[in-house]
Amino acid sequence: MDYNATTPLEPEVIQAITEALEDAWGNPSSNYMAGAKAKAIINQSRESVARMVGGKAEDIIFTSGGTEANNLVLHTAVEYFRRNCKAQEQGDGQQSRSKGLPHIITSNVEHVSVNLVAEHLQKDGQADVTFVPVSKVTARVEVEDIIAAVRPNTCLISIMMANNETGIIMPIQEICQRVKALNKQREWLRILLHTDAAQTVGKIKVDACELGVDYLTIVGHKFYAPRIGALYVNGPGTRTPLFPMLFGGGQERNFRPGHMRSTRLYLEDRLKAVFRDKITFNSHYPGSDVLPNTCNMSIQGPRLQGWRVLSNCARLLASVGAACHSDNANRPSHILLSCGVPTEVAANAMRLSVGRGTTKSDVDEVVEDLRETVQLLEEMN
């Protein structure tokens, strides 16, 4: 139950990759047959990925993964600001129009591939960054807090579409609507809008045009595809700026969100039936929607820290939070603390994320495994 960390490859995906490795090994930039075949497969894949997120094939940039895609957006925003400043100076012959450093707005619960990049840009003196805290009531970043953080030099707002630990879905469409209204009043610098949709593609509907974003990050291994990524850009290089970081040579069906939601609800019901008042759900917040497959919960007890319970389970495979933070597994998640979860509850947190293939029988096994493990640890106390 760690599908938010990664997913196995679908058999159709393995078959497609195998066929491509055998038949389309050519350089897609070459004119010979193997190269032409490779180019055709890439074009078809680009069409498929575009359909998944409501975009056009030309809007999809393939990347090595979500980290590269997110880095590309933040790098582009800084370069976009710099070029706008330079154009303003050349236009009026004054350097006073430059409004300091580029300003980026993000939240305090983003994936590290956004937060660490933002922190690096700030420490390196390349950008000012505002980390807007999520509400301790809803665990969402609130629209008004984002708008209040906007400055004249704000060039990018980057907010994840859903949190990888709590599953809470962020109000991206509302943020975009408000910012687009602001952009109409701004004289010289449009605010770019980005959402990291790593956790939502394949689980809930994702339509970049409906959301109103300029950039949207896609991560293959979160929805049964290879460990590569893609970046949706609304008209790359025309409507929306995109600048390279590197220099050198030039399937949306069968998501079954309803199945995953019913499986997660069954899981939560079974957990409540077994652990009763000992259990706390860290993904339930009033007024906030949650991913259909994600259950973040804590079982209360002095020896029931999440890492300890999971390391003693015989069958359950899950995590205490983001897989990227596995080295700090014995520390309470800063995401949960930011959402208002008490320290002693956050210390016991476990993230159970179901997938397409998870059955009620699997849930029953997992809950029984947890029951036996908790009983064992309590007897040891």
The pLDDT confidence band at residue 198, using thresholds 50, 70 and 90, is: very high
Asked if pLDDT for residue 57 goes beyond 70, the answer is: yes
Torsion angles phi and psi, residue 301, rounded to 5: 160, 150
Q: Kindly compute the dihedral angle of the four CA atoms of residues 43, 49, 50, 52, in this order, to the nearest 10 degrees.
A: 150
Mean pLDDT in residue range 56-66: 94
pLDDT in tens, 211-270: 999 999 999 999 999 999 999 999 998 999 998 876 655 422 233 356 888 999 999 999
Position 82 scores a pLDDT of 94
Asked if pLDDT for residue 374 goes beyond 60, the answer is: yes
Mean pLDDT in residue range 175-185: 97
Position 329 scores a pLDDT of 59
Asked if pLDDT for residue 204 goes beyond 80, the answer is: yes
Position 99 scores a pLDDT of 67
pLDDT in tens, 123-167: 999 999 999 999 999 999 999 999 999 999 999 999 999 999 999
Asked if pLDDT for residue 24 goes beyond 90, the answer is: no
Position 254 scores a pLDDT of 31
Q: Taking the mean position of all CA atoms in its chain, how far away is CA 265? A: 22
The pLDDT confidence band at residue 93, using thresholds 50, 70 and 90, is: low
- Torsion-angle region of 34 (φ positive above 0: left; ψ -120 to 50: alpha; else: beta): alpha
CATH domain 259-379 topology = Aspartate Aminotransferase, domain 1 (3.90.1150)
Position 323 scores a pLDDT of 59
Position 35 scores a pLDDT of 82
Position 324 scores a pLDDT of 56
Q: CATH number of 33-252: 3.40.50.2000, 3.40.640.10, 3.10.290.10, 3.40.50.1000?
A: 3.40.640.10
Between CA 43 and CA 45, with CA 44 as vertex, the angle to 5 degrees is 90
Structural domain spans, the chain: 33-252, 259-379
The pLDDT confidence band at residue 23, using thresholds 50, 70 and 90, is: confident
By annotation, the residues acting in catalysis are 324
Position 279 scores a pLDDT of 97
Asked if pLDDT for residue 30 goes beyond 80, the answer is: no
pLDDT in tens, 316-357: 988 887 655 555 557 899 999 999 999 999 999 999 999 988
Say how many C-beta atoms besides its own lie within 10 A of residue 103's C-beta: 23
Helix (H) or strand (E) holding 46: helix 33-52
Asked if pLDDT for residue 190 goes beyond 70, the answer is: yes
Distances (CA, A) of 17 to 191, 200, 226: 39, 24, 9
